[in-house]
Each structure stands twice: as C-alpha cells, then as structure tokens.
C-alpha cells in the first residue's frame, strides 16, 4: 500500500506554546503528514518542523498567485513561508465566506502557479443529501469537482493534488460517512477525473469528517481513501498519535 496522507487542519488552535506538542505526532515515516495551522502560526510551525518529515500547509489563500492583497495572503507568500500545500474550498470557507466553485478554481490555479499543491475540499450538505438519491449526490459532487479543479491538469504530470471528500454534515458532527459510501464517492470522483481531464497520477483522494482514532483505518481500508483530513482530532495530540499508530498497523 502506498504511504497514506494525513492532513491536520487546526481550526481551533490553542496557545502558541503548545505548537510543539501538537506537531510532534506528525513526524512519521510510514505516513505522509501535512500540518495546516492558522496563518499567524505558520512561521513558528515552520521553525518547529525543521528536521521533521511533516510538511507545512495553509488553510486558504488569495485567488491571485501574488501581489498586494491587504488582509489576505497570496500563494507566493505562503511558498516563502515554507508551505507546500494549501487547503481550498473547505465547507466553512464556502458557507461563511460565500466561496463559489469559480473562486476555488481560481485559487487552485494560483496555488499551482506559485509552485504549491492544492488540497481541494468538496462535500454535499445535509439538505442536498436529503433531497437527492445517492446517484444524484455523486453526480452533484462530480460536477462540483470539475468546476474547482485547476486548468490543464493532463499536462501537469508531476503536479501533486489532494481531493478531500468531506460531507458537510459529517464535519465536526461526530457522525462520519460510512466506509462503503465513501468508497462509492471516491471511486466515482477518481473515474470522473481520469476520463474528463486525463490526469491519473499524482492525485490523492482523501476522506474528512469526524475522523477519530477508532474509525480512521476503516476509511483507508474499506473506504478506498488514500488519506484523511482531520479537524478536531488535530487538536488532541494523544488521540492523533493513537490514530497514527493504528494507521501504522495497516501499512
Ligand atoms: P472534523 O473536521 O475532523 O472535526 O470533522 C474536518 C475538517 O476540518 O474538515
């Protein structure tokens, strides 16, 4: 099995002095890891991660690769701060900042232009899930993905991309999607990307939404996920370490 990927999205970060304790579990050799702290902690995290196998990522960026964007952060600046990855299109950004698929697509292009790799998030709301049959939800997800993907993927052979299926109703709710449902969605998304863009290598498909130490392995195993995006779990170093131990047993 290729090395899984774990993305830690620190949404509710504690005191900066706890940074070292929170980053420490992510230094692993059997699993790729990406630490994505809030912007103000990126520089400190970069220092903490010196010598660590864990990569640094951001939680968002401006939709232009560089330039003066008061109050926002361009991908080029993130690259200068040592980031290799940027989370884009998280449901909280879509809901609270009205981010449209078009703007997420522009951000994905800007991230690539700056030499970084996007982690593209998508997922259906509880409302969409209730109103549509399973097949229609998958079609909705495929359409959203096609809108947010960066341009010219087929020609970007070495470009790394992560695509995270994160049902909105599963995020922070304590109720994750079932592994069989995740497998159906991720398989359908992978097939759609391959047929519609021609890119097959360098893409990792992740699952996110109420991942815990106890359920993480089921998503990698039966859920066909190449990795996980964790929110709440990333704020609990002991549980995060236990999750990574369980992943190690699978490898
Ligand atoms: P959660 O958050 O793991 O707390 O559900 C996931 C996310 O950040 O998207």
Instruction: Kindly state the percentage of the chain with pLDDT values over 90.
Output: 83
**Nearest Cα to 211, choosing from 165, 170, 168?**
170
Give nearest CA residue, ligand 1 atom 1. 231
Specify the pLDDT at position 33.
98
Q: Any idea which residue has 């903490």 for tokens?
A: 48
- Scored b (16 or more CB within 10 A) or e, 78-108 reads bbeebbebbbbbbbbbbeeeebebebbbbbb
Confidence of residue 156 (pLDDT cuts 50, 70, 90): confident
Mean pLDDT, to the nearest integer, of 102-129?
97
Asked if residue 1 has pLDDT above 90, the reply is no
**Nearest Cα to 25, choosing from 251, 227, 238, 248?**
238
**pTM exceeds 0.85, yes or no:** yes
pLDDT in tens, 137-148: 999 999 999 999
Cα 102 to Cα 34: distance, rounded to the nearest angstrom:
25
Asked if residue 168 has pLDDT above 80, the reply is yes
CA 198 to ligand 1 centroid distance, Å: 30
Q: Which active-site residues does the annotation give?
A: 90, 166
Give nearest CA residue, ligand 1 atom 2. 231
Secondary structure (3-state) at 251: coil
Cβ neighbours for 191, distance < 8 A, ≥ 6 positions apart: none
Does the CB atom of residue 123 touch ligand 1 within 6 A? no
Give nearest CA residue, ligand 1 atom 6. 231
Mean pLDDT, to the nearest integer, of 67-72?
89
Residue 9 CA, closest ligand 1 atom number: 8
Average pLDDT over the chain, rounded to whole?
Answer: 94
Mean pLDDT, to the nearest integer, of 58-73?
92
Instruction: Kindly state the percentage of the chain with pLDDT values over 70.
Output: 98
Specify the pLDDT at position 207.
98
| Residue 40 burial class via C-beta count within 10 angstroms: exposed 0-12, middle 13-18, buried 19 and up | exposed
Cβ neighbours for 139, distance < 8 A, ≥ 6 positions apart: none
Residue 210 CA, closest ligand 1 atom number: 5
In this predicted model, which residue has the larger pLDDT, 135 or 214? 214
Mean pLDDT, to the nearest integer, of 94-117?
97
pLDDT in tens, 173-231: 999 999 999 999 999 999 999 998 887 788 999 999 999 999 999 999 998 999 999 99
Cα 104 to Cα 189: distance, rounded to the nearest angstrom:
17
Does the CB atom of residue 211 touch ligand 1 within 6 A? yes
Residue 90 CA, closest ligand 1 atom number: 9
**Per the structure block, which two tokens stand in for 90?**
């998280």
Q: Any idea which residue has 């078009």 for tokens?
A: 102
Confidence of residue 14 (pLDDT cuts 50, 70, 90): low
């Amino acid at each position: 099995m290729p090395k899984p990927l774990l993305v830690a999205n620190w949404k509710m970060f504690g005191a900066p002095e706890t940074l070292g304790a929170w980053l420490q579990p992510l230094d692993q050799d059997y699993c790729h890891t990406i630490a994505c702290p809030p912007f103000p902690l990126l520089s400190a995290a970069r220092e903490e991660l010196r010598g660590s196998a864990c990569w640094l990522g951001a939680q968002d960026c401006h939709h232009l690769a560089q330039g003066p964007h008061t109050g926002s952060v361009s991908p080029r600046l993130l690259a200068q701060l040592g980031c290799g990855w940027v989370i884009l299109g998280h449901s909280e950004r879509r809901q609270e900042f009205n981010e449209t698929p078009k703007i997420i697509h522009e951000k994905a292009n800007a991230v690539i232009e700056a030499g970084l790799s996007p982690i593209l998030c998508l997922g259906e709301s509880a409302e969409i899930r209730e109103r549509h049959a399973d097949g229609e939800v998958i079609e909705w997800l495929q359409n959203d993905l096609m809108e947010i993907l960066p341009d010219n993927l087929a020609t970007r052979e070495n470009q790394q991309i992560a695509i995270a299926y994160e049902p909105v109703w599963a995020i922070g709710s304590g109720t994750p999607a079932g592994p069989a449902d995740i497998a159906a969605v991720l398989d359908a998304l992978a097939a759609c990307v391959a047929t519609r863009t021609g890119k097959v290598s360098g893409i990792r498909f992740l699952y996110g939404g109420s991942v815990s130490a106890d359920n993480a392995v089921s998503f990698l195993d039966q859920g066909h996920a190449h990795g996980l995006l964790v929110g709440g779990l990333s704020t609990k170093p002991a549980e995060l370490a236990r999750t990574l131990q369980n992943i190690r047993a699978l490898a």
